[in-house]
Amino acid sequence: MRGYEQKSRLFRVISLALILGVFQAGCATSVTRMDAGEVKDLSGAWNDTDSRLVSEEMIQDVLSRSWLQQYVRAQRKQPTVIVGEIRNLSHEHINVNTFVADMERALINSGKVEFVASRTERQDVRDEREDQDLHAREDTRKAMGQEIGADFMLKGTINTIVDPSGTKQVRYYQVNLTLISMADNRKVWVGQKEIKKLVKRSKLRF
């Protein structure tokens, strides 16, 4: 009889687990507000923390190097930079706009570098200027052909190397940014940020 009781208890436990499983699926959405600076890694993929690490490193590096002083000394004005293409050569669909925007903001706010609108942004501005020509009051109208030509172009790549084995994965990201002089193709600054992660995935889940 004991064996029989044990089995029927087992049966009850299994049914309970099944019922629980059904209920667990029906939980409601919950939202927790987080600080934008808080580190939270979920899947191991590129996330906001990586983007922030890259922008912090790059901003600090680009402002402290000699290209800036040399340019100001020689030209007696601040350099103007345009954002060119940042190529994503990684294995993930990475949004590069986040750290590029961070860099732009920090550089403009430093008061040492000026930015002009990039290729994708400026078409909108040109359309508006054309529109002003037709519709705006004469004293507020902006003339064509007065744009500032950039002195440097910011270009870059994101590369990754992934080494998966079983449940583990090493992900190595390398972000390279370069400032290229528009006048003579000189590379005046190369910034690099490396990020390495070990992602372990569980063999079991609930």
Partner 1 sequence: MKRIELVRSGSGGCVPAAGAARLGLFFTLSLLLGGCATFSETFSPVEQKLAAQQPEHALQLLEKRRYPRRDEVLFLLNKGMLLRMARGYEASNQAFEAAKQRINELYGASITEQAASFLINDGTRSFVGAEFEQVLLHLYMALNYLEMRQLDQARVEALQVDIRLREIAEHVPESVYTEDAFARYLTGMIYEERGEWSDAMIAYRKAYQAYTKYRDRFGTDIPVFLKYDLLRLSERMGLTQELARYKREFAISQWQDVTSLRRQGELIFMLHNGLAPIKREQSAMAVNPASGRLIRVSLPYYQPRQQPVVRARLIVGGDHVQTQVAEDITGIAIKSLEAKMPAITARAVARAVLKEGIAREAGEEHVVAGLMVNLINVMTERADTRSWATLPGNIHFARLPLPPGNYAVKVELLGSGDAVLATRELSNITIRAGEKSYYSYHWIPSRL
Q: Which residues bind partner 1 (CB under 8 A)?
A: 1, 3-4, 7-8, 11, 14, 17-18, 21, 25, 43, 87-93, 160, 162, 164-167, 201-206
Among candidates 61, 40, 62, which has minimal Cα distance to 115?
62
Toward partner 1, which CB reaches closer, 23 or 139? 23
Q: Which two tokens stand for residue 71?
A: 């340019």
Return the ∠ at Cα 98 (arms to 97 and 103), rounded to 5°.
95
Least Å distance, CB 168 to partner 1, is: 11
CB of 179 to partner 1, least distance (A): 21
Task: Label residue 81 exposed, middle or buried (CB < 10 Å: 0-12, 13-18, 19+).
Answer: buried
The 10 Å Cβ neighbour count of residue 93 is 8
* Residue 26 Cβ vs partner 1, minimum distance, rounded to whole Å: 9
- Cβ-Cβ contacts under 8 Å for 150 (sequence gap 6 or more): 80, 81, 82, 116, 182
Comparing CB distances to partner 1, the nearer of 64 and 165 is 165
Nearer Cβ to partner 1 (54/158): 158
Q: How far is the CB of 165 from partner 1 (least distance, A)?
A: 7
C-beta atoms surrounding 44 within 10 Å: 13
Q: Which is nearer to partner 1, 137 or 203 (CB)?
A: 203
CB of 206: closest distance to partner 1 in angstroms? 6
Residue 48 or 61 having the CB closest to partner 1? 48
Please check whether residue 196 is in contact with residue 160, taking contact to mean a CB–CB distance below 8 angstroms: no
